Structure 1
Amino acid sequence: MPTATAAPPRLPRRIALSTLALLAAGTAHAHVFCATSAAQLQQALTAASDGGPYNGEDNEVDLAPGTYTTGAATSNGAFHYRSTAVTGLISIHGGFDANCQNPRSNPARAKLDGNGQTPVLAIVNAHAPIEVLELTVQNGESIGNGAGLSLSGGAGIAVLFTVIKNNHTTGLGGGFSIHADGLATSDYVFLETNLVTGNSADQDFGAGSITTDAAVVAVTHDTVYGNTTLGMGDSTGTGGLFLSAESGYLSNNIFRANTLYGFYLDSVDIFVNANWNAYGSSGGRPPASATDNTNAPPNFVDPAGGDFHLSGTSPLLAYSRSIVGRYLDLEGHSLPSGGRRDIGVYADTVFADAFDDG
């Protein structure tokens, strides 16, 4: 059976996480895999996990274009990684060509698929950072938390430039469950520039949940649309995002057409701000600061057909004066460093300061 190969030498593509990369700077070695099949992806994750030859190193798994489906290659479970080493960042990157070169901002190139049978991706990195970038994570099915993504880490977590869609759990967090444990207050959890749509959870949090004891959480330029929950048991019935973090901010996001609430802030969210977002309603604790939000409709081009670009009549075009978040949208279009930005995951318009994106 072919095994995951080392990718050709190149400069590390840590465009996403300068902060998290610094956290792993003490690691002596790094390894880059190039996977072209589901079997190679799991082999790479296993080689980087506890007991593997690359455990404790910084490991980056780059994916060639294609659909990586769980099944025999994953022992009929999720693609999985687990490490208790004190060092060793784990990164899973899509957006490459067939040789794992020439990265482009295109999450449709590499798709992780649960085939409606299993969870999609489960990562536990007890003491080191986690990165998930430029992927599509779809069709997960789970009885646990996080049918699409289940991420648990102790030194920073980032999900960036990713599409999370059509995942279902009978538990919590249809699209994702992110838990950052034991982090310092200087650490971050990033959920930025993602499209989260069509996910469902029987218990609660159709889109997903983020919980952390100490890290600052940044949720920016996401579009969270059409996620649902049955709200069973003691749950609040939030179809959108659940956030439990003492500090953080939500900015430039769209939360629409989710069951009951677009986002729900836990009682511990004392210093969480929500500014320059578009949403209908939120639940739980009110944000510490909530300015310049709007309930105006986004006027997507064709949400039923999966097109979440803002139409020419959208009131969210050039709406935000906040420049927090990434410098590219989901398709790789540049975002302005000043003036106004479009809200949500896509931005390719003429801005209010009269300069376009290119």
Structure 2
Amino acid sequence: MQKRSQQQEALLVLEDGTVFKGLALGKIGTAGGEICFNTGMTGYQEIYTDPSYFGQVIVNTTSHIGNYGVQFQDEEESNGVKISGMVCNSFSQIHSRYTADTSLQAYFERANIVGISGVDTRQIVRHIRNKGVMNCIISSEILDAGLLLDQLKAVPDMEGLELSSEVCSKLIYDLDSTNAEFRVAVLDLGVKKSILSNLTDRGAQCRVFPAKTPFEEIAAWNPDGYFISNGPGDPAAMPYAVETVKQALETEKALFGICLGHQILSLASGLSTYKMHNGHRGLNHPVKNLITGRCEVTSQNHGFAVRAEEVMEHPDVELTHVNLNDKTIEGIRRKDKPAFSVQYHPEASPGPHDSRYLFDQFTDLIKETK
């Protein structure tokens, strides 16, 4: 794809009034959301299509974005781009990978994504690391920072926001393994395709249920286990999902949760969550498995966490994984139920496969409780 003949200016305005000037990328327009940064050096398409990023503006900290283009079939984690906007330093209008289907610029234009490049992403990251997560607005059509700051007031805060019902499937659907050995009911809170692939690869016949499906309807399928997916938003704003998991726990069938699913299992167990100062987003977060003593290089994407002091005091919850950077909770298991969860993403491949054992652990638990 050829470069634009004339690249337009753009503004990034943060909630605290900080302004960054740069160049437009993607669609010409205006978009707002919660600004957060991802430290991964590759996998930008997987990031942009991850439903967990719904409502967020992504700052890619790696220097160059777009240089390997976009591939539609293999690197989509959902049915399309889920981010609200993108911020980067150097944006490539051309790409060099011969297997790419199109450029990132054309991809963003088709998905109506507004972005900004040519800004100092190191300065932006340091600013929001110090000040904490906040909302922002990007515009390539309005270059009045004061007007944009007024418009930013209409962007809702992530804390208290329920988003899973907006990004999940609206219909129940099936994914069959070629050699199905057991049934897994997937509560879709914003599930990634690679998670479903890891389940079907291990012999699971998956039936995926929209986020607000009544538990009675899920249980009527008679699954052998329950999977609670990742997704966006504040887990404390999802009492419907907490109730579903509480009822699933009473069946004494195997249950596994990832990311938002981990937080929902925690809430269903009587624990509470909180909004983090910055959150964890990247491909290099060190996590220690306290059961085996082994450390894992993990992929993470979350802005909420489970309160550590409550985990340590809960008689029926065991801490299984801890983040080695800040000691936050990365995994738990129930002592009285066949249920466990992790805060990070074992289906991703930063280690590259340090954490895939968790899917095997789930399938083993299903076979034990079936």
> Would you say same fold, with TM above 0.5?
no
Greater relative contact order (Cα < 8 A, sep 6+): 2
Name the TM-score class by shorter chain: under 0.3
Q: TM-score scaled by structure 2?
A: 0.27
Q: TM-score scaled by structure 1?
A: 0.27
